[in-house]
Amino acid sequence: MCRSALSFFALIDYYQYYFLFESITLDTISLIQPDDWHAHLRDGLALQRTVPDLAKQFARAICMPNLVPPVKTVEEALAYRQRILAHVPEGLDFDPRMVLYFTDQTSPQEISKIKDSEFVDAIKLYPAGATTNSANGVSDIRKVYAVIEQLEKHQVPLLLHGEVTHQHVDIFDREKRFLDEVLAPLLKQFPQLRLVLEHITTSEAAHFVLEHDRHVAATITPQHLLFNRNDLLVGGVKPHFYCLPILKRLNHQQTLLEVATSGNPKFFLGTDSAPHAQNAKENACGCAGCYSAPNAIELYAQAFDQVGKIDRLEGFASHFGADFYGLPRNTKQITLVKQPQTIVESLDYLEDQKIIPLHAGQTLSWRKV
């Protein structure tokens, strides 16, 4: 056989091996165990459901403080942490990272306590009335500039629910108005402030983060990567897609996918998973929040895979949040396989009540093994 023919068959063998290898890597991925940098666990009996669901997916989670009553001091946060740890299933390592609830009465001295705490990492600002259990939130950010000055001094992250709450502002415009009217002036006053713009939903928010330095970061939820307001509204209102900030237009969803899958370390995983009983979601109150904890990493894998960027998932899910918070990256690994799984229709919650998880009854392409 001539040399050219041998080269030809060698080339065929190479490509057969190449495509086989590519098939394996696309159907099975391993990544450092991820963290959730924005999760709601609630308290009391709710922890029996929420803690195991989250701990089976994530090594660490920022645990939101909007309880009733809210978690306002380091001492209260550490007590809440112990209540969470009591529900971690045996054999799982789960590290709850705590956050204080920012109020008009928060003391500047409390910030140095956060800085010195081993397990409390940040403070969360909810504009009063912005979302679930936010009635005790900050009424006017200018009232708490003395506390924010201490945040900047001690480099303690400020976590922001980035929406204005004025009744006359359209609900789809509240995030952009917050950027223009609250956040831009805040960063001019405190240029070295470390902050996380939580659960961003618009292209304006994504570009705002990109335009600022490394002190400004953002979390992105699975629902804002996978869905848009058509999913919420077309064919009738779907209460289990209702969250705050609300789902936006398709073009905003596309921008979020672009930045989440870009490999830019300023964007990282935060589910905003929030448990609400079915009867609380499916009524006139329509509590805001999507419960994604049981299938969170698979939901993110679905979103990344749909745009051909599954190789970027590890950075977004496992590296960038830990780096921003100055915590070591995890060392354990998880494996995802491209095998269909159907999300359950409902989950038990609070005795005889149910939770409808995000995307209930629908099939995902990825499964955590």
Catalytic residues: 272
CA–CA distance, 362 with 339 (Å, rounded to integer): 14
State the Cα–Cα distance between residues 273 and 208, nearest whole angstrom: 24
Nearest alpha-carbon partner for 256 in 298, 228, 215 = 228
Residue 337's DSSP bridge partners are 28, 367
Q: Is 215 annotated as a binding residue?
A: no
- 153 annotated as ligand-binding: no
Residue 87: both structure tokens together:
């529900």
The answer to whether 40 is a known ligand-binding residue is: yes
| Residue 266 is labelled as binding a ligand | no
168 marked among binding-site residues: no
For 225, list phi and psi in degrees, rounded to 5.
-85, -30
Residue 189 to residue 155: CA distance in whole angstroms:
15
Measured CA to CA, the distance from residue 242 to residue 6 in angstroms comes to: 62
| 199 annotated as ligand-binding | yes
Q: Which of 203, 132, 188, 191 is nearest to 161 (CA)?
A: 132
**Helix, strand, coil in percent for the chain, rounding step 5:** 40, 15, 40
Q: For residue 210, say whether it is annotated as part of any ligand binding site.
A: no
> Three-state SS for 343?
coil
Amino acid in position 227: F
**Residue 43, annotated ligand binder?**
no
Q: Which residue has the tokens 């672009």?
A: 258
- Using CA atoms, how far apart are residues 181 and 199, in angstroms rounded to an integer? 18
Which amino acid belongs to residue 300?
A: Y
- Is 124 annotated among the ligand-binding residues? yes
Q: Are 102 and 138 in contact (CB under 8 A)?
A: yes
- Please tell me whether 38 is known to bind a ligand: yes
- CB neighbour class for 133 (10 Å; exposed up to 12, middle 13-18, buried from 19): middle
Unique residue bearing structure tokens 């292209």: 203
Binding site annotation covers 279?
no
Distance (Å, whole) CA 157 – CA 260: 21
Check the annotation: does 212 bind a ligand: no
Annotated binding site: 38, 40-42, 66, 124, 161, 199, 244, 272, 276, 288
